[in-house]
Structure formats: C-alpha cells, structure tokens
Amino acid sequence: MGGQLDAFTYNALPARVIMGAGKREEVAAEVGRLNCARPLIVTTRDQAALGEDIARRLDARQVSRFADATMHTPWPVTQRALEVVEGSRIDCVIAIGGGSSIGLSKAIALRTGLPQIVLPTTYAGSEVTPIIGETRDGQKSTQRTLDVLPEVVIYDVELTLSLPVTLSSASGLNAIAHAVEALYAADANPITSLMAEEGIAALAKSLPHIVQAPDSIEARRAAQYGAWLCGTCLGTVGMGLHHKICHVLGGAFDLAHAPTHAVMISHVAAYNAFSAPSSMARIARALKARDAWTGLYDLATNLDLPVSLEALGMPETGIDRAVELIMQNTYSNPRAPDVPALGNMLRRAWKGSPPQPME
C-alpha cells in the first residue's frame, strides 16, 4: 500500500472460528475442549428440530434444551432460561439459530459466565460480537462487554440451506448494515475497513444468487463468509445512527430485526452522504453502484424485500415517538442527528420512498 497510514488502534477479538460444510459434527469435541459436559441447547421454537439434531451428537443424559428464544431478547424469557441453567447445573450453552437464539445465549453468559458454542443459521453476525441487546418494558438497550463474546463459532454452511429466501435476503442486508456503519465509525481502522468492503461485496454478489438458487452451496458459502466479515466489523468498532434507529424501532414497535435493517440502511446512508464521502465511495464500489444509498435501496428492491416501515407494521403515528427515542443517548455518527431531518428520513422510510441525501 502506497503512502503513509494514519495512526489507528485495532483490537482483535478472541474467538475460535470453525468454517465448513458438515462442521456441526464437531460440536461434541468442542464441548469437551471447553472442559464441559452439561450443555444447554438454545433455539427458537421454529428451530427446535435443529437443536434436536445437535443434541443427538451429545450425551443424551447430560444435555438440556430451551426452545423459547425470542426476538429482541425479552427479559422474561431470559429469566426462564436462567431457571433451567440453575436447575440442570448447566456448564455451557450451545446456541443454534440467528439473533434470537444467540441473543439469549449471550444473556445467559452475561449473568453466569458460562462459555458459549454458537452455530449460526443466518447472516446476522451476532456470534462474533461482544454486544448484547435486551428488551425490557418496551425499550431495547445494548451494551458491549467481552463477557458475552462466544468462545466458539461453528459456521456450517449446510445449516443455512433451510433459511427461507426472504429471510436470507433480509439477514444479508442486516449484515451489510454492520459493514456500512463500520466504514464511517469514529474508531474505524484500515483492517475493519478492508473487512467491511469485502463483506459488502461478497453479500451483494451472493444474495441475488441465493434468490435464484436457494440450494446453492457456493452462494450460501459466499454469503456466510461475507456475514462473518461484516459481523466482525460490528464487534470491532462502534456503530452509528442506523443501529440506534433499528434498536428503537425494534424495541418500541416490535418490528422484525433484519427487515428493519434492510429498510433503514439506504436511508441512513443518504442521511450521512455529505458527512462521510470517502466511506460512501467505498460502499458504492463494493455494491458496483453509482451511489451508496441508491445501491443499497436497489439491492433491497431487487431482492424483493419490503422497503417501507409501513409494510413491517409500524404505525405512521409512531414516527414522532421514534424520533424522540432516537435523540436519547445518541450514538457517534458522521452527521449529528437532528429532529427535523430524522423526522423527514423516517417519513420517507415509512412510505418506502427512495432515499434522498439531505444537506
């Protein structure tokens, strides 16, 4: 690389990453490597069968199950899971699924110190981050602590084959959002920026192929690779306005996590357009688009994803309340949030109008 690099700080996160088709077969060995014997398998109800598939690879007398993981990690669900942990003398957690399962696993680890083995089935990226988001009384809050970083991540591409096309697309846009915000983060550095651009490019290329051929191992492998890179960015540097908005909308209106990211990321890119031009150029290059915001919006449209908050179930009357919540404890962002601009952006996102840069 020519020229002189500016000073930067890069903190690598300690995690064991195992990637490859069929690697779920190694879960028992990983439990043993952690010196554990009494795992709790955590899934959502819809993915309980995947949990049973993993359980068959373990000692049936020692394994416990909790199949009620729920979106946005509500505190009452965590309390019930902790009761199982205590009652069954659990010594590690195995999470199979996406953000719901992994979020609950992290919530357990935060309060017990138990090690985690995670087998992702989506592209959300939570498995490689020291970040946990939890919902209490209708508000979602996040914190960053190494206490919730999983010790082992097993990326078995075969586990993603059952992910429906629409969820694959939304989850992929969610992952891209992590990389977009990493590029203009206050603590951005050359390493995460390389990962971010590569992650966006891998997902932008693979997601349309998954729509055309959902059973394609190659397309799924490329998407999982991109999601790992984007998730690593999320775990390494701070996120900005986009993530604050999505946490508010998810917590206050119970909107689905990944589709909310898919709707909002193009609008937030447009909001930041004039405050982070070099980042926008890298995003556009990764997307092979003229502009970052149009490229993100067109990708969502081409993947046949909802492009409006209205379609996700948010009431138009909630926009002012959302702005009020977004303005509380704001995240670092290239352009400072202000009430009129946020209101205008959210109204465009609610209608599904194309994103528009604002001076």
User: What is residue 210's three-state secondary structure?
Assistant: helix
> Taking 50 as the threshold, does the pLDDT of residue 9 lie above it?
yes
The bridge status of strand 131-136 relative to strand 139-144 is antiparallel
Is pLDDT above 90 for 157? yes
The fraction of the chain above a pLDDT of 90, given in percent, is 89
What pLDDT is stored for residue 4 in this prediction?
52
Pull the structure tokens for residue 2: 């020519």
Contact 263, 230 (CB under 8 A): no
Mean pLDDT score, 316-322: 97
Nearest to 235 by CA among 30, 68, 10: 10
Picking from 302, 122, 86, the residue whose alpha carbon sits closest to that of residue 205 is 302
Confidence of residue 162 (pLDDT cuts 50, 70, 90): confident
Q: Express each pLDDT in 25-76 by its tens digit.
A: 999 999 999 999 999 999 999 999 999 999 999 998 999 999 999 988 999 9
Domains of the chain (ranges; CATH) run: 16-160 (3.40.50.1970), 165-351 (1.20.1090.10)
Tell me the percentage of the chain whose pLDDT exceeds 70. Answer: 99
Report how many helices (DSSP H) and strands (DSSP E) the chain contains, helices first.
Answer: 13, 8
Tokens in use for 356?
């528009």
Average pLDDT, the chain: 95
Could you give the strand order of the β-sheet that contains 152-155, starting from the edge strand earlier in sequence? 16-19, 152-155, 116-120, 92-97, 39-42, 64-66
pLDDT > 60? residue 3? no
101, 77 Cβ separation under 8 angstroms: no
Residues 6+ apart with CB under 8 A from 213: 219
Average pLDDT over every residue of 13-30: 95
202-234 residue pLDDT tens: 999 999 999 999 999 999 999 999 999 999 999
Q: Please give the pLDDT value at position 117.
A: 98
What is the mean pLDDT of the segment spanning 302-315?
97
Query: Does pLDDT of 283 surpass 60?
Result: yes
Query: Which residue from 184, 153, 169 is spatially nearest to 335, judged by alpha carbons?
Result: 184
Query: What is the predicted pLDDT for the residue at 1?
Result: 43
Average pLDDT over residues 239-252: 93
